Structures are given as C-alpha cells and as structure tokens.
Structure 1
Amino acid sequence: MRDFKNLNAFQEVQINHILDTNKERDNRLRSIRQYLEKSYIIEEITEMNDYQIAKIRRKSNSGINEWLYSMFFNYNPIHEMAMTFDQAVLICLSYKYNNRNTDAALYLERILNASFMPEGIE
C-alpha cells in the first residue's frame, strides 16, 4: 500500500488528477454496468467518442465462454450484440450516422473483405 502522506505538492496533484479521472469514468460507466451486470460478466468497456463497447460473457453454467460485444450510444443501449470488436465498431458507426436503418455495417464488411466470425468458428 502506498503512503500518500509524504508526497510533494506536484505528486499530490498528479495522484488526485488520476483518482478524479478514474472516478469520473466510473460515474460515466455506471449505467452501462448496471444494465449488463444482471446477465453478463463484464471484461472491459471501451469508450470512443459518442459510443461505448462492452466486452461481455454470459453468466451461465453451460460451459460456453463466448465473448460478445454490447454497444451503447451516448451511454444508452443499442440493443444489439456483435461477435467481434471490429464488427461492434462498424455497427456503432452505422447507428451513429444512419440510425441503423440500413445494412451499412454489412456493406463495410464486404468492402473491407472482413470476416467477423470469431476464431475457431467456421
């Protein structure tokens, strides 16, 4: 455990800034965690501009450890799941710019010649 009593003024500012930044992030992500924690185990949440992507796994005893990606726009759920992080980013972009009314993510997948199937699944 670190002793915070013997820090100089510069170190105190640095430590407090890091702690405040983490607290702000926790406050921003609280609604996402509350939404997902009932049914999923959350590995990590990535924030990018207006959208957030949570890497999650189902809470079940089925022995399936499949990772999924749940997407949020301005901390509100999109109600879609992706199989890979790349697919989640494309879905978020299509949702942001076209309100997910088209198959933009599918077309981008074809343009990029990308396969969004996780490794080991054919």
Structure 2
Amino acid sequence: MNMRILSVLGAAGLMVGFSLPAGAVPSATTRVLDKETLTGIEGHDLPTPPVHPALFTLPIDVQVVKNDTITTDTPITDKFGVATPVADWATAVRACLYAKPKLVRVVGKDSVPFVINKNEGTVVLNANGKAVCPQ
C-alpha cells in the first residue's frame, strides 16, 4: 500500500471514531449536594472517554450500597425454595449475574446515587458484606 491510501484510511477511521453515536459512549451521572457546590449546579456528568487522568482533580469515593436488612448470602435460593423448578431458579441466577451494582458516592456522612449509563443497578452488599441480588 502506498502512503496516500494509508493516509486516506487513517483519516476515514478517525472520522468514524469521532462520529460514533452518543449511546455507544459510557456515561456517569451524580447529584451535587448543596454543601459541595459554589455555583448552585444540581448534577454533574463525568467526562466521556477518552478521559485523561488530569481531568479528575477531586477524589471521588464510590461504594456499593450495603443493605443490612438482607442477612442471607443466597436470597434467590431462599425465595425459590426446593419445590421450584430448576429452570426458574437458573433464570433468576442468570439475571443476577448480568445485573450491575448499585453505587453511591460518599460525601462525608451522606450518600449520593452514582448512576452509570442511566442504570442505577440492583446488586447490593448484604449484612455480611457479600454481593447479592435482592429479590
């Protein structure tokens, strides 16, 4: 291949990369607390990739939500019991495997929801600190 073809292919690839639909780009959104803002903004969207580490100047403490009311390590199995068909149980387990964690941004003693790709997530930590899908 000569240089002209390579440069045309490179330019075309670059244009396609910049024209990707917005849905293909991951997003993250969080609410801004009154004590955190000087300008009065209510929410903040994190920058879309590619993200350079220098764009993040403040630390963000993101944690998985802990639900102390869930005391079992196997809520799906407990819900279905022994008499339920295995296929129904397996479907619920498979759905849980594909579920996203429910995240919060910790600000002092407060917790603010941290939403990724407009999905709040369902997986939480139980009282023992194990990740579970609440049913």
TM-score normalised by L of structure 2 = 0.26
* Higher Rg: 2
Q: Which has the higher contact order (CA 8 A, sep 6+)?
A: 2
TM-score normalised by L of structure 1 = 0.28
Which structure dedicates a bigger proportion of its chain to strand? 1
